[in-house]
């Protein structure tokens, strides 16, 4: 099983909910969607703000991405609500 070290960044209301702007995560998740599921499995507050029923935008290496986007070691994943203010 391949594992990756990923920087995960949280923005706006998601950052407020998890109480941090970024963290480094060691994961075996092959895709961005699988990483989201791993974070949800941690329980609250991730389960609430990243839940599958919620509108959450995702980016990988500062490019908008989907669940099926593959992860790579050293990547930066970002999670944010659909509308963020400047």
Identify the CATH number of the domain in which residue 69 sits. 3.10.20.30
Distance CA 84, CA 11 (A): 8
pLDDT at site 9: 98
Query: What is the reported pLDDT for 1?
Result: 74
pTM over 0.85: yes
* DSSP H or E run through 25: strand 22-27
Residues spanned by the domain of 14 = 4-80
Output the six-digit token pair for 15: 């950052």
> In a structure prediction context, what are the per-residue pLDDT tens digits for the chain, which is 86 residues long?
789 999 999 999 999 999 999 999 999 999 999 999 999 999 999 999 999 999 999 999 999 999 999 999 999 999 999 875 55
Q: What is the pLDDT of residue 86?
A: 56
| pLDDT (0 to 100) of residue 85 | 56
Beta bridge partners of residue 22, listed in sequence order: 9
Report the number of distinct structural domains present in the chain: 1
Handedness of CA 33, 74, 22, 11 (dihedral sign): negative
């Amino acid at each position: 099983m391949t594992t990756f070290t990923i920087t995960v960044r949280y923005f706006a209301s998601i950052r407020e909910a998890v109480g941090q702007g970024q963290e480094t995560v060691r994961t075996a998740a092959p895709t961005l969607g699988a990483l989201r599921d791993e974070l949800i499995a941690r329980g609250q507050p991730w389960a609430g703000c990243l839940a599958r029923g919620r509108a959450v935008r995702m980016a990988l290496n500062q490019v908008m991405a989907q669940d099926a986007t593959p992860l790579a070691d050293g990547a930066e994943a970002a999670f944010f609500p659909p509308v963020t203010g400047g």
